[in-house]
Structure 1
Amino acid sequence: MVNTFHARPPEQFIADFFTTFTNAVVHGSEDASDLMSRYYTRDVVQVADGVRLDWDRLVAHLRPVRKNLREFRFEVHEAFAVGDRIATRFTIHARMRKGGPVSTRVHMFAEFTPDGLLRRAEQLTLTVASVEPKGGE
């Protein structure tokens, strides 16, 4: 990340972190490992709904995201920072290559380095209904 961890309010930091990272994944051609190194530490551990992801598993996860994600938006509802840790609640609004829109609510406790790299995260997620306008609404 270009900006330091404490340079922005935590809500803005989280929105910027995930938006710029996801934009680079979806629209960029950079090698997945090189891209990851700008956002995550090499010893990263992310546990999402009980599934532990390390560096290699996160890099592997980028390939299907790059192939299938078409549109996205991160809606940060709240975030609190204490030292190098952030607790946040946000919703990912996405549209995949196949299928309609999907929204996922995320509750995350995370640890970042002073320069804004994600070191550890514990996440609970819940898919929530996405509503598309009907017939000109």
Structure 2
Amino acid sequence: MTFTAVHTDIRTALTDLLLTPGLDLDEAADRHFAPDYRQRTDGEWADRTEFLAHIAHLRSVVAGGSVEVHDELTDGTLYADRHTMTITKTDGSTVRMEVYLFAEFAPDGRFRRIEETTLMLEGAASDRDLGSAR
């Protein structure tokens, strides 16, 4: 199996998924996530279909935001980062979460698997599960 040197990264993926109004969800997902993609957030697994339902829900509550990558490492098919996601919700409130992420790339450079743990820095108690809400 050959691995491509070109790969996605979390800032670009999250920007396309959540912070680019008008970009079709399926198109955004196809750019960054392999067909067999799966994700574990705070211990809860989701397949690609469940992940896309999560992103569709977030798109309904996110008005804007930013992704700040603090640390990022790529080693062959492996990727790790620590980033802070700041979200302004449609109700005007702000949520900030620090995320520790470990991932594996598919041979075409898209994410095949992500495992992440989130730490809420700012937001209401009801926003604690925003990283996996559907």
User: Kindly tell me: are residues 14 and 63 of structure 1, through their superposed partners in 2, closer, same or farther at Cα, counting changes over 3 Å?
Assistant: closer
- Same amino acid, percent of matched pairs: 29
| Superposition TM-score, scaled by structure 1 size | 0.76
The equivalent of 1:70 in structure 2 is 63
Partner-residue secondary structure (3-state), 1:106: strand
Unaligned runs of 5+ in 1: 7-12, 131-137
Question: Take 2:55 and 2:94, find their aligned partners in 1: how far apart are those partners?
Answer: 19
Aligned length: 119
> Which 5+ residue runs of structure 2 have no aligned equivalent?
124-134
- Mapping for residues 115-130 of structure 1, pairs under 5 Å: 115-129=108-122
CA contact (8 A) 2:84 2:99 kept: yes
Tell me, in whole angstroms, the C-alpha distance in 2 between the residues paired with 1:37 and 1:17. Answer: 10
Q: Which has the higher helix share?
A: 1
Asked if residue 28 in structure 1 is aligned to residue 30 in structure 2, the reply is no
State the distance in 1 between where 2:30 and 2:51 align. Answer: 11
Highest Rg: 1 or 2?
A: 1
Please, what is the CA RMSD of the aligned residues? 2.1
TM-score after normalising by structure 2? 0.78
Could you say which residue in structure 1 is the equivalent of 2:6? 4
The alignment status of 1:14 with 2:10, answered yes or no, reads yes
Give the CA deviation at 1:100: 1.3
Runs of 4+ in 1 over 2 A off after TM superposition: 13-18, 20-24, 32-35, 113-116
Deviations 1:33-56 (A, max 9, x none): 343222211111100001101011
Matched, 1:81 2:80: no
